[in-house]
């Protein structure tokens, strides 16, 4: 029974430690989702040049897309004309890091991981794109299985033409009624001149109200996306990651994982654990806390944080279907080799420059003052309420689908 209580305490400590940073990350991610249109991504990723590959990596790094959510985005970009190398670069950098995962990394793992993760993500993405550019197939034609996308666009473009013809017929019907006599027009000119000043004031008021209304609508969309779609995409794996991290801290001895050492074997084990997993950059962070507390080196932890979010079964299947088996092999080789290289680099920096103090190995809540602890607690309550709301909505949707329709009576 004491182990269960300790498990709950460890889970609660991790949840409270990550809550304010996760809320901050969700808000920034929502703002970016509102401000960065897909057309912007398509415009900068169409070329096969190193510049386009680098742009894809830099643009993708802060975007709030997990390893599952990046698949339709990358597929749409590829079918919109993005090159293979740029698409692969986007597929690596986007799920490996993000504003939300960086903030959670700072809270749970310390500033060193918060700095190294985005740098490693962008560098490994550029490396993967260059590998596909140099060693990939020369034929970079887009897979023509994208017929549903083009047909949808065609149907959307034909609808305005039809509606325009309908409007023209309405205009023809309304035209006789709007044709007024000349005397009516002359009498109306005086009232129009008299009211021109008040109309200008009204226009200014309407413009101000319209600007305020647009800003309010944008803020509402940011809040809905951050607390709805984005949180819904990561909540399950985030809770699983927190639970597993708490379990590792509770029951796994600190020297259990050190049997693999801190060299190549440990890093390969972490890479092959992470590759098939459906886990996002944010949800992988609590797991990394557990692995770090169990004795693994920082470099091996970084390998897991890079390889786990970057790859999963669905991503590999999409790459094989859209870009071929050779591109898939180059993608996997690039992710594993880059993550191991950065793992060695991190271990070297930690030992050579004595950076161990920048890595957090346990909860730092007790180091904060009472006011800060209250803020952490309030953040945890807000985050928990948002998660509970998502769970209730999912339950209601499930019950609604199981209820027979009343229209059959």
Mean pLDDT of the chain: 76
**pLDDT tens digits for range 319-342:** 888 888 999 999 999 999 999 999
Q: Would you say residue 284 lies in a domain?
A: yes
Residue 193: pLDDT over 60: no
- Give residue 233's pLDDT: 74
- For residues 87 and 77, give the distance between their C-alpha atoms in angstroms, rounded to a whole number: 7
Q: Would you say residue 121 lies in a domain?
A: yes
- Give residue 181's pLDDT: 46
**pLDDT tens digits for range 44-102:** 777 788 999 999 999 888 876 766 667 767 776 787 778 899 999 999 998 898 888 89
When pLDDT is averaged across residues 111-129 and rounded to a whole number, the result is 95
- Give residue 159's pLDDT: 41
Virtual CA dihedral for 313, 339, 70, 392, nearest 10 degrees? 80
0.95 exceeded by pTM: no
- Token pair, residue 202, equals 């009204």
Domain that holds residue 248: 2-145+221-375
What is the count of structural domains for the chain? 1
H helix or E strand, kind and range, residue 75: helix 70-79
When pLDDT is averaged across residues 135-159 and rounded to a whole number, the result is 49
- Token pair, residue 295, equals 């004795």
Which is more confident, 258 or 293? 293
3-state DSSP call for residue 262? coil
Q: What are the CA-CA distances from residue 249 to residues 112, 237, 364, 398 (Å)? A: 21, 18, 15, 35
* Phi, psi angle pair for 15, to nearest 5°: -65, -45
Q: What are the CA-CA distances from residue 66 to residues 46, 52, 100 (Å)? A: 22, 22, 11
Q: Would you say residue 179 lies in a domain?
A: no
Q: Are 339 and 269 in contact (CB under 8 A)?
A: no
**pLDDT tens digits for range 22-50:** 787 678 767 767 776 666 766 777 778 89
Which is more confident, 220 or 241? 220
**pLDDT tens digits for range 158-188:** 344 344 444 444 444 444 444 444 444 444 4
Q: Are 114 and 35 in contact (CB under 8 A)?
A: no
Q: Which residue carries 């930690």 as its tokens?
A: 350
Residue 290: pLDDT over 50: yes
Q: What are the CA-CA distances from residue 314 to residues 17, 70, 228 (Å)? A: 31, 11, 23
- Give residue 339's pLDDT: 95
Residue 9: pLDDT over 90: no
**pLDDT tens digits for range 255-278:** 666 666 678 888 998 888 888 776
Residue 147: pLDDT over 60: no
Q: Would you say residue 13 lies in a domain?
A: yes
Q: Residue 406 carries which DSSP code?
A: G
Q: Would you say residue 294 lies in a domain?
A: yes
Q: Would you say residue 215 lies in a domain?
A: no
- Give residue 45's pLDDT: 77
Residue 157: pLDDT over 60: no
- For residues 175 and 168, give the distance between their C-alpha atoms in angstroms, rounded to a whole number: 10
- For residues 383 and 17, give the distance between their C-alpha atoms in angstroms, rounded to a whole number: 12
Q: Would you say residue 324 lies in a domain?
A: yes
Q: Would you say residue 71 lies in a domain?
A: yes
Q: Map 186-242 to HEC letters.
A: HHHHHHHHHCHHHHHHHHHHHHHHHHHHHHHHHHHHHHHHHHHHHHHHHHHHHHHHH
Q: What are the CA-CA distances from residue 368 to residues 14, 364, 376 (Å)? A: 15, 7, 10
Listed residue (204, 189, 293) closest to 247, CA to CA:
293
Residue 381: pLDDT over 90: yes
Residue 117: pLDDT over 50: yes
């Amino acid at each position: 029974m004491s182990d269960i209580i300790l498990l709950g305490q460890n889970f609660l400590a991790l949840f409270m430690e990550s809550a304010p940073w996760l809320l901050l990350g969700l808000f920034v991610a929502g703002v970016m989702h509102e401000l960065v249109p897909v057309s912007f991504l398509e415009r900068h990723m169409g070329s096969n040049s190193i510049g386009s590959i680098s742009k894809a990596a830099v643009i993708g790094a802060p975007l709030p897309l997990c390893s599952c959510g990046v698949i339709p985005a990358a597929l749409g970009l590829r079918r919109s004309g993005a090159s293979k190398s740029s698409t692969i670069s986007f597929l690596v950098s986007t799920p490996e890091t993000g504003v939300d995962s960086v903030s959670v990394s700072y809270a749970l793992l310390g500033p060193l991981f918060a700095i190294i993760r985005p740098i490693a993500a962008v560098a490994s993405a550029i490396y993967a794109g260059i590998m596909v550019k140099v060693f990939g197939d020369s034929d970079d034609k887009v897979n023509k299985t994208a017929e549903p996308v083009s047909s949808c666009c065609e149907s959307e473009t034909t609808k305005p033409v039809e509606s325009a013809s309908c409007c023209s017929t309405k205009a023809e019907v309304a035209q006789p009624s709007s044709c007024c006599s000349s005397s009516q027009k002359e009498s109306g000119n005086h009232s129009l001149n008299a009211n021109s000043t008040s109309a200008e004031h009204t226009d200014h008021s309407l413009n101000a109200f319209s600007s305020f209304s647009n800003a309010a609508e944008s803020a509402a969309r940011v809040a809905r996306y951050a607390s709805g779609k984005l949180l819904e995409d990561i909540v399950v794996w985030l809770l699983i990651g927190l639970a597993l991290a708490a379990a590792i801290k509770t029951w796994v001895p600190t020297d259990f994982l050190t049997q693999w050492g801190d060299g190549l074997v440990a890093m390969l084990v972490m890479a092959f654990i992470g590759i098939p997993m459906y886990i996002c950059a944010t949800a992988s962070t609590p797991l990394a806390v557990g692995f770090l507390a169990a004795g693994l080196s920082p470099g091996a932890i970084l390998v897991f944080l890079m390889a786990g979010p970057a790859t999963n079964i669905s991503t590999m299947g999409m790459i094989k279907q859209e870009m071929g088996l050779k591109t898939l092999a180059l993608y996997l080789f690039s992710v594993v080799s880059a993550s191991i290289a950065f793992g060695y680099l991190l271990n070297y920096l930690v030992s050579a420059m004595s950076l161990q103090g920048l890595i957090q190995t346990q909860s730092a809540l007790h180091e904060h003052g009472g006011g800060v602890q209250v803020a952490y607690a309030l953040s945890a309550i807000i985050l928990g309420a948002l998660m509970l709301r998502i769970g209730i909505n999912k339950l209601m949707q499930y019950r609604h689908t199981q209820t027979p329709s009343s229209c059959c009576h």
